[in-house]
């Protein structure tokens, strides 16, 4: 497997340090609102990386994706909603899990919350270790990281040291690009804000500290193998995570840094003022299925910016449907026996798919390998140059490759819970067949339209009528 490492700005061969287990951390959502499709581009690409490491490279995973459940945004949101921070963030965590499941994102081994007691304790310990190593100072009850105490500071983001302002402090979690300042590790209590005391005085953690503490607590001896997130996190968040972790442990924090580039909508940055911040719910409300969105999100390379358009959604739906229809067509092959050329096609497609994924997750090339197979096997079906056993092998290969992509299995899961109960759909198909048999085409059309209005499409083919979700 070759993976681009932001730390070295190069593609490098990747293998885990500890036996066969990949220890990976990805920064999770800040749980103050429904995650948008940009967030889900990152989480879907992280999921594809996880699945590639598991199903292509054969590694075991030990992966943590956190919930940031205490920061400026969550605290303000809870105050506005007049709820406790815990109750407020519980709701957004549940919403995130619902959307992640709908998008076929595998549940990581660990999903820590920053405010879990063990994590807060780990943050207290991290601050104590940093203090012991001379990297901290206190001002007005808050504890800061002194970046001039760590000569390596800025290595990930490639910052210019001459721009570092000694003693200039920043309290907010995010700050201007290329303006490195001493950042806050622990913020002194403010009236109305939740407060903990884990040895650094009454207050609450800074966002950067949370991730370092959870990664070090849950994933074992540093360096961990991979740390991932969206590209906007390189600075200051990941730079500061490195400073905290390395300042405390005197060991490298993560070997590989993987960053997913941003999703834009119709060529614009998503923003509330432009009204283009879409959630999965909104995509579904427009008649699209989560499986089509997953397909779209993984179809372009994760290191390139991606432009979301509704036309792109239509194309994703069409492409996914081509694969699903092809799988249905394979079932119509009834000729006994096997044709050697098909076995070769299957082997070739597997090799091309795996090579593409092992080349820094080239999902576009991996999908192209699948569509080459679809085209060639369709031609073989037309020419009756394929046997039943071959067709089964082709279908098995697509299932195998879909363990990485997770789109066909997701569509099947969606179909298994259709908007109309299956028994009712089947009864209506029978009623329609009977109506046609007595040449009552108006009644037959009514049934079709009624089902379409309820989200179920009927398709008449040589082997009878099939239904699918709209």
Q: Do β-strands 60-65 and 254-260 pair in parallel, antiparallel, or remain unpaired? A: unpaired
Give the residue with the Cβ less far from ligand AMP, 20 or 98. Answer: 98
Give the residue with the Cβ less far from ligand AMP, 360 or 390. Answer: 360
Phi, psi of 424 (to 5 degrees): -70, -40
Please say whether the beta carbons of 178 and 235 come within 8 A.
yes
Closest C-alpha to 269, from 297, 306, 233, 235 = 306
Token pair 């959870």 is found at 214
Residues 264-303 interacting with ligand AMP (rule: CB under 6 A): 270
- In angstroms, how far is the first alpha carbon of the chain from the final one? 38
Residue 236 touches which of Zn ion, ligand AMP, none (Cβ within 5-8 Å per kind):
none
Q: Do β-strands 2-5 and 224-230 pair in parallel, antiparallel, or remain unpaired? A: unpaired
Judged by CB under 5 A, does residue 156 bind Zn ion?
Answer: no
Report in angstroms how near the CB of residue 175 gets to ligand AMP at its nearest: 15
Judged by CB under 6 A, does residue 77 bind ligand AMP?
Answer: no
Q: How far does Cα 105 stand from its chain's mean position?
A: 6
Candidate residues 5, 6, 21, 39; the one interacting with ligand AMP per rule CB under 6 A: 39
Q: Which stretch binds ligand AMP (CB under 6 A): 185-193, 209-217, 227-235, 428-436?
A: 227-235
Q: How far does Cα 233 stand from its chain's mean position?
A: 15
Judged by CB under 6 A, does residue 446 bind ligand AMP?
Answer: no
Candidate residues 2, 54, 262, 322; the one interacting with ligand AMP per rule CB under 6 A: 262
Whether the upstream peptide bond of residue 258 has omega within 30° of 0, thus cis, is no
Give the residue with the Cβ less far from ligand AMP, 231 or 395. Answer: 231
Judged by CB under 5 A, does residue 211 bind Zn ion?
Answer: yes
In whole angstroms, what is the distance from residue 421 CA to residue 198 CA? Answer: 53
Assign 58 to helix, strand or coil.
coil
Candidate residues 16, 38, 222, 223; the one interacting with ligand AMP per rule CB under 6 A: 38
Q: Which stretch binds Zn ion (CB under 5 A): 22-30, 289-297, 370-378, 444-452?
A: 22-30
Judged by CB under 6 A, does residue 116 bind ligand AMP?
Answer: no
Binding site for ligand AMP (CB under 6 A): 27, 29-30, 38-39, 41-42, 68, 229-230, 232-233, 260, 262-263, 270
């Amino acid at each position: 497997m070759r993976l681009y490492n932001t730390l070295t700005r190069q593609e490098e061969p990747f293998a885990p340090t500890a036996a066969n287990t990949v220890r990976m951390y990805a920064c999770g959502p800040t749980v103050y609102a429904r995650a948008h499709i940009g967030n889900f581009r990152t989480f879907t690409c992280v999921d594809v990386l996880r699945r590639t490491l598991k199903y292509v490279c054969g590694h075991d995973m030990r992966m943590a994706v956190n919930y940031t459940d205490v920061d400026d945004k969550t605290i303000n949101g809870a105050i506005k909603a007049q709820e406790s921070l815990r109750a407020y963030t519980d709701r957004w965590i549940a919403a995130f899990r619902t959307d992640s499941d709908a998008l076929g994102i595998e549940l990581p081994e660990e999903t820590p919350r920053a405010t879990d007691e063990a994590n807060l304790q780990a943050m207290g310990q991290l601050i104590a270790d940093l203090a012991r190593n001379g990297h901290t100072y206190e001002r007005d009850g808050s504890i800061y990281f002194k970046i001039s105490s760590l000569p390596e500071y800025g290595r990930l983001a490639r910052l210019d040291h001459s721009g570092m302002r000694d003693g200039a402090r920043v309290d907010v979690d995010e700050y201007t690009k290329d303006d490195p300042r001493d950042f806050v590790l622990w913020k002194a209590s403010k009236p109305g804000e939740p407060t903990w005391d884990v040895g650094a005085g009454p207050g609450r953690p800074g966002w950067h500290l949370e991730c370092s503490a959870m990664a070090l607590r849950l994933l074992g001896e540093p360096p961990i193998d991979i740390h991932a997130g969206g590209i906007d996190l390189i600075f200051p968040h990941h730079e500061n995570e490195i400073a905290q972790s390395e300042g405390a442990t005197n060991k490298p924090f993560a070997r590989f840094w993987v960053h997913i580039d941003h999703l834009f909508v119709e060529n614009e940055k998503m923003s509330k003022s432009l009204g283009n911040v879409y959630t999965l719910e909104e995509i579904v409300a427009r008649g699209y299925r989560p499986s089509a969105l997953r397909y779209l999100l993984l179809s372009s390379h994760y290191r390139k910016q991606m432009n979301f358009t509704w036309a792109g959604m239509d194309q994703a739906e069409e492409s996914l449907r081509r694969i699903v229809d092809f799988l249905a067509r394979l079932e119509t092959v009834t000729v006994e026996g096997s044709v050697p050329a098909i076995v070769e096609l299957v082997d070739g497609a597997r090799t091309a798919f795996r090579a593409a994924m092992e080349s820094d997750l080239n999902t576009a090339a991996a999908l192209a390998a699948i569509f080459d197979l679809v085209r060639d096997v369709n031609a073989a079906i037309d020419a009756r140059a394929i046997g039943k056993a071959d067709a089964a092998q082709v279908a098995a290969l697509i299932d195998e490759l879909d363990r990485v992509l997770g789109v066909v299995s997701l569509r099947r899961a969606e179909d298994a819970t259709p908007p109309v109960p299956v028994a009712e759909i089947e009864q209506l198909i029978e009623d329609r067949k009977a109506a046609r048999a007595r040449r009552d085409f108006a009644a037959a059309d009514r049934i079709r339209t009624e089902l379409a209005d309820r989200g179920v499409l009927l398709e008449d083919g040589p082997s009878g009528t099939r239904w699918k979700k709209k």
